[in-house]
């Protein structure tokens, strides 16, 4: 998975948002970022590259469902607006799996495009949420 230069450059936003969230974010930002990073690592380990274009990958589907459940927990617990966006984008990923499972015949490139763009959307929502939490703490004089 980390074999091309493009993939290594694509990791830069993830690493930057993760460092920012862990240094400046509150607990919901850290939980969401930890979920995202663990999900990414588990995806690397569970993905069957030999079956990318042939069979439905149940392990990846269940992993994305677990990530959606964790984001739902974050939405339920902390009630921040960015968490709803992160959950909504993760649910788009889950729905993309379901569309592929029921054989609606979208092009496989469209499926992987949705998955990749959704990950950037989740990173963007976590980054925005971290920025807001950091600014709220600064305005309150806590930092």
> What is the pLDDT averaged over residues 10-33?
92
Per-domain residue ranges of the chain: 13-139
Please state the pTM of the whole predicted model: 0.85
Q: How far apart are CA 100 and CA 97, in angstroms?
A: 5
Report whether 15 contacts 21 (CB < 8 A): no
Q: How far apart are CA 139 and CA 32, in angstroms?
A: 23
> What is the pLDDT averaged over residues 18-38?
93
Rg (CA), the chain: 16
Per-residue model confidence as pLDDT tens digits over 60-109? 899 999 999 999 999 999 989 999 999 999 999 999 888 888 877 777 77
Name every residue whose Cβ is closer than 8 Å to that of residue 43 and which is 6 or more positions away in sequence.
Answer: 60, 63
Closest by alpha carbon to 90, among 112, 57, 66?
66
Per-residue model confidence as pLDDT tens digits over 103-132? 777 777 788 888 888 999 999 999 999 999
Per-residue model confidence as pLDDT tens digits over 30-63? 999 999 999 988 988 888 766 666 677 888 899 9
């Amino acid at each position: 998975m980390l074999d091309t230069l493009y993939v290594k450059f694509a990791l830069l936003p993830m690493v930057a948002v993760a460092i920012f969230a862990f240094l400046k974010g509150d607990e919901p930002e850290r939980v969401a970022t930890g979920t995202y990073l663990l999900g990414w690592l588990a995806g690397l380990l569970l993905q069957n590259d030999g079956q990318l274009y042939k069979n439905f990958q149940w392990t990846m589907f269940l992993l994305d469902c677990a990530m959606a459940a964790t984001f739902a927990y974050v939405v339920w617990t902390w009630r921040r607006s960015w968490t709803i966006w992160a959950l909504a984008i993760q649910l788009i990923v889950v729905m993309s799996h379901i569309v592929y499972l029921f054989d609606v015949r979208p092009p496989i490139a469209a499926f992987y495009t949705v998955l990749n763009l959704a990950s950037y959307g989740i990173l963007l929502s976590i980054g925005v949420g971290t920025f807001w939490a950091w600014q709220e703490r600064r305005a309150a004089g806590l930092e």
